[in-house]
Amino acid sequence: MQAQTDNEISQIEQTIAEGNLSDEEIFDSYNGLMWDSHYQGKQEQALSCFNKGIAFAREKKNIDWEAAFLVGMGFIYHEWGENDIALTYFDNSIKLLDGKGIYYREAYAYQGRGCYFRNLNNYERSMEDFLKALEINEKDRARDKAAKEDYSGTYRVEVSILNNMAVIFANQFNNEKCLEYQLQIKKIMDDNPTTDFRNWKYVVPNNIASLLIDLDRYEEAFPLIEEAYKLAAEIEHLDFMVSGLIRYAVYYAWAGKPKLRLQYALEALQVAEKSDVPRIINKAEAVLIKAYFALRDYKKALYYANRMLLRLGDDDDDNEGNWKQLQFVYGDLALIHAALGKPDEAENYMDKFVAIVAKLSDKNQQNALEEMQVKYEVEKKEQAHQAEISRHETRQAIFIGSLLFTALLIALLIYIVALRNKRNRELAEMNATKDKFFSIISHDLKNPAIAQRDALQLLLDNSDKWDKDALANYYGKLLKSADSQVILLYNMLNWAYLQTGKMPFMPNPFNLKAALKSDIALIQNMAEQKGVTFNINIPEQTTITGDDNMLTIVIRNLLTNAVKFTTAGGTVTLDIAPIGSGFTISISDTGTGMTPEQLQNLFCLDAKRSTTGTAGEQGSGLGLIVCKELVEKHGSTLNVDSERGMGSRFWFEI
């Protein structure tokens, strides 16, 4: 029962008190009241409904209902920010259901805890719970099949679990892996056309279309764009319809059809205005601005940019939620005014653009630092807690030992000292690692950002003086600088995930050659642009067992470094050769090589981190540290052979 007002809630409670409802209706009423109270921001009332509901479930000795209330309150406490209490409710529901054969509710409980860990960025624990939920759901399906009962509901549960797993990879910017899960969901839906998948039939095509566009696979995306829009139009879901029309506009921009692009952008705005929701209207107008700009209709582009700016408001701290959209509007306005021959206005909006980019950068860095600090504090408290437990256990052992042997007392005292020293060393290492990482952030993120800002200023000052070739050359340099900074950010994120345990290690058999296909194409292009020969020696059968995401990160980083330190006319070679039951993976180059001192400090976080590439490429050296740790996750070692002026070879066995 979806009670929306206090009066309706009171009426439902009165009906329950009169005893005119069945047990099932009473359960539904308490459960609905609990959630409605939560959504209305009435915490005390939500807790009251929970307490009444769970007392009723226990009175009826219905474990299914009791677990439903526990999982529900787990979600609610998590949304209230009471994470410790939320975890207790999830754990209690799982303990209650263990071995009871109530598979549907047990899978739901594991899903709930998986979402809890995912929202805390603990992806490894989250994945464990989602996999457990899948396993339990399979048991539920097998039992229903054996009993010849309807098991279509288990497919809905499986789709929900797989989507939650896909979100993990989306959060890690791994669109390829996220797409794999979404395609798996679509196959389940296509193979079971009689099953009612409810909202999933609208959501999944949208997800797949967006992922294919993000991966620049436009031809594959187009049928999904059509399917997603058709489904959204059938139920007149305005937000989904606007998203679909925007995807049409993006597709036709890629296809080089600017008039069709404008047509769909205008239609998107018409639908968005029916919703009267600012967020949806902003989404449509942002695409329309770019469509008019591409057609050089700068006045109309300016009109819609000003409309969007007026709706978004100022970029003050109270309006932080709109900063990201304001960033794009300021950038568009700078370009539009420059195209209209108004350099003063263009410069004004470029200043605003640079200022808000700096704000967003500061905010992102602050969030990352705060997250690391919280992780550090939690680990420190956990170590202190474990140390206290150890001291308590040790005191008991000393008391018992003193009654038996004096010699045992001495041995235990020595053990306590050693344990304390070990704890102190661990805390000191954690502090040192934190300080080193903060140093990298302050140096390698701040300096390129300042350099890019200065470069943009120089570009504005000379835009009316430089010819097209000079501007194109300068844009290329800016793009190369931005690419270097993106690589640094990815390496920092990967390293942070490793240090905080948020990068799950999920080894599976996979074809390494197929997994490297897109990365090899990217490196081949980089090498060609630099005049470097790229040799590839990979056998057809390269099935290995490992984490495909981690190993592709390693090989991509090593190949990028090899091209970076090789001059035009040189050679970079990727060689994968079978050895025993595995493979040796080797990346070699004929580049600058390294001195013995550079080799010694290659994997030291506190040492000088990098040298400039042969074409002026910048880096932090953090990528090699990430590679080393990812290889070690597989029980292997990253080896290096190098000599100054004679090139380098990085290799490992898997």
What pLDDT score does 481 carry?
60
Does residue 518 carry a pLDDT above 60? yes
Which helix (H) or strand (E) segment holds residue 643: the answer is strand 639-643
Q: Is 247 helix (H, G, I), strand (E, B) or coil?
A: helix
What pLDDT score does 64 carry?
95
CA distance 60 to 66: 10
Query: Which is it for the CA torsion 374, 377, 383, 388, positive or negative?
Result: negative
Query: How far, in whole angstroms, is CA 150 from its chain's centroid?
Result: 36
Q: List, in sequence order, every residue forming a beta bridge with 573; answer none if it has no partner.
A: 535, 588
Mean of pLDDT values over 6-22: 73
Q: Which of 127-136, 167-176, 307-316 has the highest mean pLDDT?
A: 127-136
Mean of pLDDT values over 599-604: 79
Mean of pLDDT values over 614-641: 78
Q: Are 349 and 474 in contact (CB under 8 A)?
A: no
User: Lowest-pLDDT range, 36-50, 64-78, 415-429?
Assistant: 415-429
How does pLDDT run across 263-299, given as a tens digit for each residue? 999 999 999 999 999 999 999 999 999 999 999 999 9
What pLDDT score does 624 carry?
84
Q: Are 165 and 187 in contact (CB under 8 A)?
A: no
CA distance 642 to 271: 61
Please report how many Cα atoms fall inside a 13 Å half-sphere around the Cα of residue 196, on the Cβ side: 2
Mean of pLDDT values over 307-318: 83
CA distance 515 to 511: 6
- Here the tokens at position 481 are 């600088």
- Better-predicted residue by pLDDT, 431 or 212: 212
Alpha-carbon distance values, 351 to 309, 324, 407, 644 (Å): 16, 15, 75, 45
- Better-predicted residue by pLDDT, 439 or 10: 10
CA distance 654 to 652: 7
CA distance 356 to 200: 37
- 486, with CB counted inside 10 A (0-12, 13-18, 19+), is exposed
Alpha-carbon distance values, 654 to 192, 547, 550, 628, 633 (Å): 40, 11, 12, 13, 11
What pLDDT score does 471 carry?
65
Mean of pLDDT values over 477-495: 61
Mean of pLDDT values over 196-203: 88
Does residue 506 carry a pLDDT above 60? yes
Which helix (H) or strand (E) segment holds residue 534: the answer is strand 533-537
What pLDDT score does 246 carry?
95
Mean of pLDDT values over 174-179: 93
What pLDDT score does 608 carry?
47
Does residue 404 carry a pLDDT above 60? no
Does residue 617 carry a pLDDT above 90? no
Which helix (H) or strand (E) segment holds residue 182: the answer is helix 175-191
- Better-predicted residue by pLDDT, 573 or 355: 573
- Cβ-based neighbours of 369, under 8 Å, separated by 6 or more: 438, 441
Does residue 433 carry a pLDDT above 80? no
What pLDDT score does 306 carry?
94
Does residue 381 carry a pLDDT above 50? no
Mean of pLDDT values over 191-219: 91
- The DSSP-derived string for 567-622 is -TT-EEEEEEEEETTEEEEEEEESS----HHHHHTTT-TTS------TTS----SH
Strands 508-511 and 543-546: antiparallel
Q: Across 101-201, where does the E strand assignment appear?
A: none
Closest CA to 289 of 257, 249, 323, 321: 249
201, 204, 205, 207 alpha-carbon torsion, rounded to 10°: 150
- Better-predicted residue by pLDDT, 366 or 235: 235
CA distance 230 to 521: 35
CA distance 344 to 564: 39
How does pLDDT run across 582-595, given as a tens digit for each residue? 899 999 999 988 88
Does residue 395 carry a pLDDT above 80? no
Query: Which is it for the CA torsion 7, 11, 13, 14, positive or negative?
Result: positive
CA distance 627 to 654: 14
Alpha-carbon distance values, 528 to 487, 559, 567 (Å): 19, 13, 12
Does residue 434 carry a pLDDT above 90? no
Please report how many Cα atoms fall inside a 13 Å half-sphere around the Cα of residue 406, on the Cβ side: 0
Sole residue written with tokens 């202190």: 384
User: Lowest-pLDDT range, 74-78, 114-118, 380-384, 417-421?
Assistant: 380-384
- How long is the chain? 654
Does residue 396 carry a pLDDT above 80? no
Q: Grade residue 369 by pLDDT with cuts at 50, 70 and 90.
A: very low
3-state helix/strand/coil string of 378-430: HHHHHHHHHHHHHHHHHHHHHHHHHHHCHHHHHHHHHHHHHHHHHHHHHHHHH
The per-residue b/e assignment along 431-461, b for 16 or more CB within 10 angstroms, e otherwise, is eeebeebeebbeebbeebbeebbeebeeebe
Does residue 453 carry a pLDDT above 70? no
Mean of pLDDT values over 624-641: 89
Q: Grade residue 172 by pLDDT with cuts at 50, 70 and 90.
A: confident
Q: Is 475 helix (H, G, I), strand (E, B) or coil?
A: helix
For the chain, percent of residues with pLDDT exceeding 90: 43
What pLDDT score does 612 carry?
59
The average confidence (pLDDT) of the chain is 82
Q: List, in sequence order, every residue forming a beta bridge with 481; answer none if it has no partner.
A: none
What pLDDT score does 241 carry?
93
